[in-house]
């Protein structure tokens, strides 16, 4: 959530930053919000003056009563003042709600390093490895998975409809052990604390990280209980400290968590719908960090490198893409996407988004820290990144390491992890 004081202080700067995201009505939205804020502060000022007056007159009325003097005029006047205070309190409360709702749908401001433009202006900042070019006709993962007996798309459809799949035998084993391996890597080598989190969360938690109200239509909710299925472990992990004041010497706080993720993908009909490329439920390992504002930029570079390390160990070619302002997620101020090459579908597939949210999420969830005892509180900076998302990682692995005979020979690093090196039909 944006700081209302920043809007008051620099409305033109905020308007320009929002326009970079492609918000055509940014200027009008900021103007309306500031006018409502001005009226609220005016009403609040009058309320405070009237309450001060009432306190002073109440003392005089008390003195008059003790001395036997008539105070009926002042009592009548204070009844009118009390009624006016009630009216103004209602005006302020209504304005508070309106302003909170308005701020809740305004996205974060892009970092100065973010390129101008939309998705076509995303910038490749670095790459690793050579994209695999197989000397035979590379099969897409849905053909590989079906012939190997490890991917059942029809079964997923029978159980849950389109956008779901079932992994079988060595396919299921490979994914499960990849999850454990990535968690061990991040917890053991990168210093993250492992968490096991709930997969259903309160509305406040979804609001805190920016999923609500913006992405309500993209999310699943249990109507009876009002609990939301998480779209990523970022939601429960970030909200773990909602409403808290952390000690400055406890930062950074670094967490890794596995979770299934649930997304309607309502706006993606007909786009990359074959196989495992775009689904409604998928597994993901997530990294979340709480940092001081000064440490945030370096922490994002480190986090991105930790996610990329997984791809390097697996020998999968990838590129790091800096997203342009018009392609940023709602809460992010700067994002690097990690895209891995999948030769069977002939595409670069996003397997991770590593983002810094500056203090945007922390304001929504009221997560602060104090540098020292007695110091003023400040909002933390939150960061997160997938490390990694499983479906597309599985796609890249299967398609990159497929063999001419239709089998898959896994990279050697996985031998002690998975317990097998080869996937063949019926194995």
Which positions are catalytic?
263, 278, 350, 353, 392
Residue in 16, 19, 29 with CA at minimum distance from that of residue 102: 29
Residue in 382, 335, 328, 326 with CA at minimum distance from that of residue 209: 382
Q: Which three-class secondary structure state does DSSP give residue 422?
A: strand
User: Taking each helix axis from N to C terminus, what angle separates 169-188 and 390-400, rounded to the nearest 10 degrees?
Assistant: 110
CA 130 to chain centroid: 31
Terminal CA-to-CA distance of the chain, rounded, Å? 52
Q: Note whether 264 and 219 are within 8 A (CB).
A: yes
Q: Which three-class secondary structure state does DSSP give residue 259?
A: strand
Q: Note whether 230 and 262 are within 8 A (CB).
A: yes
Query: At which residue do the structure tokens 């969360």 appear?
Result: 201
Query: At which residue do the structure tokens 């590593």 appear?
Result: 354
Residue in 268, 269, 267, 206 with CA at minimum distance from that of residue 238: 206
Strand order in the sheet with 334-342: 123-128, 318-322, 334-342, 347-356, 381-389, 281-291, 253-262, 193-196
Residues sharing a CB contact under 8 Å with residue 353, sequence separation 6 or more, in sequence order = 329, 332, 335, 336, 337, 338, 385, 386
């Amino acid at each position: 959530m944006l700081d209302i004081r920043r809007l008051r202080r620099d409305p033109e700067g905020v308007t320009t930053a929002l326009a970079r995201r492609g918000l055509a009505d940014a200027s009008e939205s900021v103007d309306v919000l500031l006018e409502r804020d001005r009226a609220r502060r005016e009403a609040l000022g009058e309320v405070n003056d009237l309450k001060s007056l009432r306190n002073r007159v109440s003392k005089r009325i008390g003195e008059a009563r003790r001395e036997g003097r008539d105070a009926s005029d002042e009592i009548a006047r204070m009844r009118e003042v009390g009624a006016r205070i009630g009216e103004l309190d209602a005006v302020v409360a209504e304005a508070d709600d309106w302003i909170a709702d308005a701020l809740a749908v305004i996205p974060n401001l892009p970092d100065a390093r973010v390129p101008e433009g939309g998705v076509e202006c995303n910038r490749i900042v670095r790459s690793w490895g050579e994209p695999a070019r197989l000397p035979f006709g590379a099969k897409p993962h849905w053909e590989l998975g079906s012939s190997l007996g490890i991917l059942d798309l029809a079964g997923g459809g029978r159980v849950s409809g389109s956008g779901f799949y079932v992994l079988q035998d060595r396919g299921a084993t490979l994914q499960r052990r990849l999850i454990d391996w990535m968690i061990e890597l991040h917890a053991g080598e990168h210093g993250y604390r492992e968490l096991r989190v709930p997969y259903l969360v309160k509305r406040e938690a979804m609001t805190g990280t920016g999923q609500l109200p913006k992405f309500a239509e993209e999310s699943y909710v249990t109507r009876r209980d009002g609990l939301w299925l998480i779209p990523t472990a970022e939601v429960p992990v970030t909200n773990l400290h909602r409403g808290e004041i952390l000690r400055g010497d406890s930062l950074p706080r670094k967490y890794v968590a596995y979770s299934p993720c649930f997304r309607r993908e309502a706006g993606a009909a007909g786009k990359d719908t074959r196989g495992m490329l775009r689904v409604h439920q998928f597994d993901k390992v997530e990294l979340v960090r709480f940092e001081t504002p000064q440490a945030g930029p370096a922490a994002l570079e480190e986090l991105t490198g930790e996610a990329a390390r997984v791809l390097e160990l697996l020998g999968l070619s990838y590129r790091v893409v800096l997203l342009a302002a018009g392609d940023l997620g709602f809460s992010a101020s700067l994002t690097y996407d990690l895209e891995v090459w999948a030769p069977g579908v002939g595409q670069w597939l996003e397997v991770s988004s590593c983002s810094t949210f500056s203090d945007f999420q922390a304001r929504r969830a009221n997560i602060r820290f104090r540098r020292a005892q007695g110091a003023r509180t400040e909002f933390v900076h939150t960061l997160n990144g997938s490390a990694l998302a499983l479906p597309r990682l599985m796609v890249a692995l299967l398609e990159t390491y497929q063999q001419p005979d239709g089998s898959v020979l896994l990279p050697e690093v996985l031998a002690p992890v998975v317990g097998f090196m080869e996937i063949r039909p019926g194995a």
